[in-house]
Amino acid sequence: MTNEFILQVTKKCFAKYVTPLLEACVTCTTTFDLWTIKGTSNTFFLVVNFLYDNWEPKHVRLRLFEASNTTNVTLAKQLHELLEKFDITKK
């Protein structure tokens, strides 16, 4: 029940706060944070950076994801899928 509740709250917060920011964004850059532990998978946090209405900087943390194989092709594919999901590839 707890995981289901967290998922529902996350979806509601995302819809209320993050989606409107991303829709208002005309152009942006993406960065990501990386955490790695020897012998296990790497954890990435994708961040979208852009300027809002009055040149106010915004940094939206989109998704935390893991990648056990961080070759260029694998990582690029995961990032591209995530960017497409949020319609960022056109911005």
In a domain, 90, yes or no: no
- Nearest partner of 62 among 3, 14, 16, judged by Cα: 14
Report the SS3 class of residue 25. coil
In a domain, 22, yes or no: yes
Which structural domain range is residue 78 located in? 2-85
For the chain, the residue count is 91
The whole-model pTM stands at: 0.67
**Domain count within the chain:** 1
* 25-44 pLDDT tens trace: 888 888 877 777 666 667 77
Better pLDDT: 12 or 23: 12
Angstrom distance (rounded) from CA 71 to CA 10? 30
In a domain, 91, yes or no: no
* 62-88 pLDDT tens trace: 877 776 666 666 777 878 888 888 888
